[in-house]
Amino acid sequence: MKHFLDIHTTDPADLRAMISHARAMKAARRDRPRGAPDDEQPLKGRMVALIFEKPSTRTRVSFDVGVRQMGGETMVLSGADLQLGHGETVADTARVLSRYVDLVMIRTFEEATLHELADHATVPVINGLTNRTHPCQIMADVMTYEEHRGSIADRKVVWSGDGNNVFASWAHAAGQFGFDITFTGPEPLDPEPDHLAFVRSRGRRAEIVRDPVEAVRGADIVVTDTWVSMHDPQSARERRHNQLRPYQVNEALMAAAGPDALFMHCLPAHREDEVTSAVMDGPQSVVWDEAENRLHAQKAVLRWCLGV
């Protein structure tokens, strides 16, 4: 049994195999009508539980569609449906769900909830997002870059903004796929030192550069994310806007990165805040490919977890 909990805890060879498998499955679907099932039905007869303590668009739809395309069925559960960790312990929920379903994907708040679920489940568990990491998104992002520019190894990724959970998984990917990463943002929103330390432990460069224009020089990818969470109070939103305004990804910043640099954003985006519409809709943006590739990358993760 294999869980997919984080990029840095998954063997690099397995990560590379998942990317290759995702690209092959995407190619196999290229001329197929939208929504049609795959020729292979590796999840036929399988039931996948999709648990959402946090609301979602891309994660919910892409996992649901991916399971169905591969012949499986899904059961979508909210935190209210389960009262996870409140009416019943997470461990007991894991034990019970394991008797009903073949795999659990969870999108939750605390990393501890994910790990407790995985520790007590007897079926594979996939991390659909926690407050600390977002590994499925970055698998799609690596796939997207390599579709457009070839191998991501030895490239330079620049993150502009808040050192959040998406940045953490980018850092983990830097160590596992062999590229360098630069964070540019205000000091109060620096990423966790452990994430940068992991990159360096794998022999890759991980640095913090305060000047965003200097940071993006020579970048192969410029990445950002929303400045505020839907759960942040208004006072926190205003403070973050003031802190992050100098790190907006706009046409001038992309020009400093160079014409070959790609722009990425995991979505949803707040246009004219962390990124301008001119960049989002511009020739360097691959955000819609990223969104589509969540489907293909997660299908590969599902198959890896289930060994099918």
Where does residue 226 rank: exposed (0-12), middle (13-18), buried (19+ CB within 10 A)? buried
The three-class DSSP label of residue 300 is helix
Q: Please list the active-site residues.
A: 107, 134, 137, 225, 266, 294
Taking residue 265's Cβ as centre, other Cβ atoms within 10 Å add up to 25
Q: 291, 241 in Cβ contact below 8 A? A: no
The span from the CA of 114 to the CA of 91, in Å, is 10
The span from the CA of 123 to the CA of 101, in Å, is 8
The span from the CA of 281 to the CA of 222, in Å, is 15
The tokens for 144 are 């997207």
The tokens for 270 are 């707040």
The three-class DSSP label of residue 124 is coil
The tokens for 214 are 């200097």
